[in-house]
């Protein structure tokens, strides 16, 4: 049984949510012409957004982070997106020196030893390359949804990051069933790990399958308390003290 079989359903209001998403993307692309990027995590929601951007020819750049710890199935989506839609996907990677230094000092499994070390790993593998991705841009698009966690329950469509850029969350009110309804309707490529009970997919060492009834993000950093479960990409302020105190940055 696939994720489409399990989750795709046409819910009331789907057409309105889809139309609203497209209108938000169009408006942002017009207002931030040449300075807007879609930061795709390559998750199911983000494949929907890539599909919308490509099929509606919206002038929004597409970029992703290759942390060096992603599953092969996730990485395979980059050439697949390019081949399927003719999209150029910019790939940002962490600074090799920083990674080498961190792994030499703290080991390959540092992230499970403490929250500070896990945040430091996310800092150098995600936040620093993300800062490069956003440099010179005035707006970015994410696939965040309110339903994904309690912490995201009040997620607005229009937000601001710490640098004052527009952070557009055009799927904020989408349901999980909507995402799969769209994927099924348009034959959107998706990560086969979603068929193996991984609704939220991050780096390989920090993602596991979830069991029936577990929350959406239960498979991310599952050894930590729920309120610590953000990598910093979508929290207002990175805990800089935690990152710098262990010398994560080269
Ligand atoms: S998700 Fe895990 S492996 Fe990936 S950057 Fe964060 S701590 Fe490191």
| CA end-to-end distance (rounded Å), the chain | 46
Tokens at residue 82, please? Answer: 């390019």
Locus of tokens 């919206």: 58
For ligand 1, mutation pick of 93, 206, 234, 239 (most atoms within 8 Å of CB): 206
- Paired tokens of 162: 């710490």
Question: Of all atoms in ligand 1, which is nearest to the CA of residue 110?
Answer: 7
Phi-psi region of 209 (alpha: psi -120 to 50; beta: other; left: phi over 0): beta
What b/e readout covers 147-173, taking b as 16+ CB neighbours within 10 angstroms? bbbeebeebeeebeeeeebbbbbbbbb
Atom of ligand 1 nearest to the CA of 124: 5
pLDDT tens digits, one per residue of 156-176: 999 999 999 999 999 999 999
* Spacing, Cα 18 to ligand 1 middle (Å): 32
User: Which residues contact ligand 1 via a Cβ below 6 A?
Assistant: 67, 69, 111, 118, 121-122, 125-126, 202-203, 205-206, 231
The values of phi and psi at residue 246, to 5°, are -110, 15
CA of 140 to the centre of ligand 1 (A): 22
Within 8 A by CB and 6+ apart from 238, the residues are: 119, 123, 127, 232
DSSP 111: G
**In angstroms, what is the span from residue 95 Cα to ligand 1's centroid?**
14
Residue with CA at minimum distance from ligand 1 atom 8:
121
Please check the confidence at residue 188 and state whether its pLDDT lies above 60. yes
* pLDDT tens, residue by residue, 201-226: 999 999 999 998 998 889 988 888 76
Structure tokens given for 186: 């348009």
Residue nearest (by alpha carbon) to ligand 1 atom 5: 122
Query: Is the confidence at residue 239, as pLDDT, over 50?
Result: no
231 in active site: yes
pTM to 2 decimal places: 0.90
| Tens-place pLDDT, residues 78-106 | 999 999 999 999 999 999 999 999 999 99
Distance (Å) from CA 98 to ligand 1 centroid: 14
How many whole angstroms separate alpha carbon 166 and alpha carbon 226?
A: 27
Maximum distance among all Cα pairs of the chain, rounded to whole angstroms = 53
């Amino acid at each position: 049984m696939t994720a489409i079989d399990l989750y795709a359903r046409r819910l009331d209001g789907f057409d309105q949510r889809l139309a609203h998403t497209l209108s938000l993307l169009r408006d942002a692309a017009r207002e931030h012409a040449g300075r807007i990027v879609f930061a795709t995590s390559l998750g199911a929601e983000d494949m929907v957004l890539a599909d919308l951007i490509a099929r509606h020819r919206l002038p929004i750049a597409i970029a992703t982070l290759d942390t060096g710890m992603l599953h092969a199935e996730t990485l395979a989506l980059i050439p697949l997106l390019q081949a399927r839609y003719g999209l150029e996907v910019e790939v940002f990677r962490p600074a090799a020196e920083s990674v080498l230094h961190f792994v030499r000092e703290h080991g390959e499994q540092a992230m499970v030893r403490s929250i500070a070390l896990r945040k430091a790993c996310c800092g150098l593998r995600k936040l620093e390359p993300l800062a490069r991705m956003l440099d010179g841009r005035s707006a970015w698009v994410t696939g965040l949804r309110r339903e994904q966690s309690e912490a995201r329950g009040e997620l607005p469509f229009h937000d601001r990051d710490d640098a004052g850029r527009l952070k557009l969350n055009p799927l904020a009110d989408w349901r999980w069933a909507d995402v799969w309804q769209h994927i099924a309707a348009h034959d959107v490529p998706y990560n086969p790990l979603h068929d193996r009970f991984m609704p939220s997919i991050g780096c390989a060492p920090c993602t596991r399958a979830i069991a029936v009834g577990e929350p959406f993000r239960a498979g991310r950093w599952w050894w930590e308390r729920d309120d610590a479960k953000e990598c910093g990409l979508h929290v207002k302020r990175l805990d800089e003290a935690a990152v710098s105190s262990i010398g994560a940055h080269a």
